[in-house]
Amino acid sequence: MLIIMVDETDTWKGLPLYEALMQRLVRHEVAGATALSGVMGFGIHGCIHRRGPVGSGDSPIAVLSVDTENKLRSVLPDIQQMVHEGMMFLTDVEVVPVTGN
């Protein structure tokens, strides 16, 4: 799993960064991704980011993407060019099949 932490106000070529990241992951045919909005967070600068009214805050956003390690590593150089501040994690996960009723 590749987890990319950015701020709601970060942008890339006129788009919210999290949206641009999702588009890039689709372009690279990554198996799946979700963007989640956080309530509060801080990073290396110690500045606390918190959710405000919709569109006015500086909420932390986590973009979680799942695929094979090789696939995610092949996407990293492209993603790293887009993220100027924030944090990225590459970690092993076990995908558990969902069984319907």
Give yes or no for residue 43 having a pLDDT over 70: yes
Is pLDDT of 54 > 70? no
| Predicted pLDDT at 35 | 97
Mean pLDDT over each residue of the chain, to the nearest integer: 90
pTM (predicted TM-score): 0.86
Domain 2-90 coded CATH 2.60.120.620: no
pLDDT tens, residue by residue, 22-33:
999 999 999 999
- pLDDT, position 41: 83
List the chain domain ranges: 2-90
Annotate 26-48 with b (16+ C-beta within 10 A) or e (fewer): eeeebeebebeeeeebeeeeeee
